[in-house]
Structure 1
Amino acid sequence: MDTLITLAPLIILIAVIGLLVKLASKKGTGASYYKKKPLTQAEKALYYKLLKALPNNPVLAQVSMSAIVGIKKGKDWQSTFNKISRKYADFVICSPAFDVIAIIELDDSSHESDRARHADKEKDAALNGAGYTVIRWRQKDIPSVEDIPAALGIQH
């Protein structure tokens, strides 16, 4: 009985610490999260068209530019990395060995503002600087399934 009385404060302390940890973990950041679809309706339509047109080529969607563009270390490395790390390529078309063949950007009306045009130029400059071909298609100008391989320079 004396042992139980001696351990009681310790048991209560452990229980209180556990409760505080549990409450702190539930508090969170105050942010409210929700599910989003990774592609817009227009991007989804183009994605399926690309799959049909290029059955032998992996088609990747919404690829982080930092996954496909490397930056040589130097004095501006971090700022240059920061510029591209939050940008995404709409579609990356690969060879069966996963070498990048082309990058497709789907431009809708949101690309018509000066700010969007500037962001597009920065993205194209980084991708072109890494040696990639960037193809920009406006929603209304997407080639047919039959014409996509030729538009990308892919022979089937």
Structure 2
Amino acid sequence: MFDFQIIFIFIGCIATAAFILLVFGQHLFRSQQYHPRKIITPFEQKMFIRLNEAFPAQHVLAQVAFSALITSQNYKVRNRFNRKVTDFVILDQSMNVLAVIELDDPSHEGKEEEDALRDAMLHEAGYKVCRYTEIPTVRQLKQDIAS
């Protein structure tokens, strides 16, 4: 009789664990795959605020995909910019791009050639690109975008 009680308790524990896994397991596995993250870094947040101060009548967009800005009929060319993202894009009231803004933190050190290639793609498409290593003043931003 004692052995049957242990077996029933064991089976009950397994059944309870299976039930919990069935009900909550899908949620547990999903939560391990996807996690929220900040859209922009604290350094980029400061730039976003400064851009909005400098251009209150324009639209400032953050983290814009290159594929929203440029395209090509050639698949190999599209592959060069497929997963690239700009830091900021400034749009006028008619939703035309005034400038693309890149903010280079220390992680860009040693990537100058890669940054130059990114800028060249955007320039070829007809965009003005302004690249900064520090948060510029409102005056500097207005001068850079106007010129």
Q: Same fold (TM over 0.5)?
A: yes
The question of 1:92 aligning with 2:89 is answered: yes
2:104 pairs, out of 96, 102, 107, with: 107
- Divergent runs of 4+, >3 A: 26-31
1:50 corresponds to 2:45: no
TM-score (norm 1): 0.71
Evaluate the alpha carbon distance shift between residue 30 and residue 46 of structure 1 in structure 2; reply closer, same or farther with a 3 A threshold.
Answer: closer
Give the letter aligned to residue 88 of structure 1.
V
Aligned-partner Cα distance in 2 for 1:29–1:119? 35
RMSD: 2.3
Instruction: State how far apart, in whole Å, the 1-side matches of 2:129 and 2:32 are.
Output: 36
Distance 2:90 2:138 in 1: 14
Q: Normalising to structure 2: TM-score of the pair?
A: 0.75
Q: Structure 2: which amino acid aligns with 1:143?
A: P
* Count of aligned residue pairs for this structure pair: 124
* Identity in percent: 35
Could you tell me how far 1:35 is from its partner in structure 2?
A: 1.0
What is the match of residue 124 of structure 1?
A: 119
Segments of 5+ residues of structure 2 without an aligned counterpart are 1-21
Unpaired segments ≥5 residues, structure 1:
1-21
